[in-house]
Amino acid sequence: MGEEIILLSAGAVKPGLLKVIDAFERTSQHKVRTIFATAPEIRQRLNSGEASDLVIAPADLINDLAGKHSAAARAQVSVGRIGVGVMVRDGLRSPQISTVELFRQALLNADSVVYNQASTGIYLESLFDKLGVAAQVRSKATRYPDFAAVLDHVSKGNGNEISFGATTVIIENSSKGIKFVGPLPREIQNYTSYMATVVAHGEFGNGVIELIDYLASPSAKRLFSAAGIA
Question: Quick one: three-class SS letters along 112-181?
Answer: EEEEECCHHHHHHHHHHHHCCCHHHHHCCEEEECCHHHHHHHHHCCCCCEEEEEEHHHHHHCCCCCEEEE
Give the total number of structural domains in the chain: 2
Strand 178-183 to strand 161-166: parallel, antiparallel, or no bridges (unpaired)?
Answer: unpaired
pLDDT value at position 2?
83
Q: Are residues 162 and 94 in the same domain?
A: yes
> How are beta strands 31-37 and 54-58 bridged, if at all?
unpaired
Per residue in 153-208, pLDDT (tens digit) is 999 988 899 999 999 999 999 999 999 999 999 999 999 999 999 886 656 678 99
Average pLDDT estimate for 116-134 = 94
Same domain membership, residue 122 and residue 100: yes
Q: Are residues 107 and 184 in the same domain?
A: yes
210 three-state secondary structure: helix
Nearest to 138 by CA among 107, 164, 170: 107
pLDDT (tens digit per residue) in 30-86: 999 999 998 889 989 988 888 888 999 999 888 887 766 445 545 789 999 999 999
| 167, 139: one domain | yes
DSSP 8: E
Same domain, yes or no: 57 and 130: no
pLDDT per residue as tens digits for the range 74-122 = 578 999 999 999 999 999 999 999 999 999 999 999 999 999 998 889 9
Sign of the alpha-carbon dihedral angle for 22, 24, 29, 33: negative
Domain harbouring 105, CATH code: 3.40.190.10
If asked whether residues 184 and 88 sit together in one domain, one would say yes
Boundaries of domain holding 171: 84-188
CA distances for 157 relative to 79, 105, 149, 205, 221, angstroms: 34, 21, 12, 47, 36
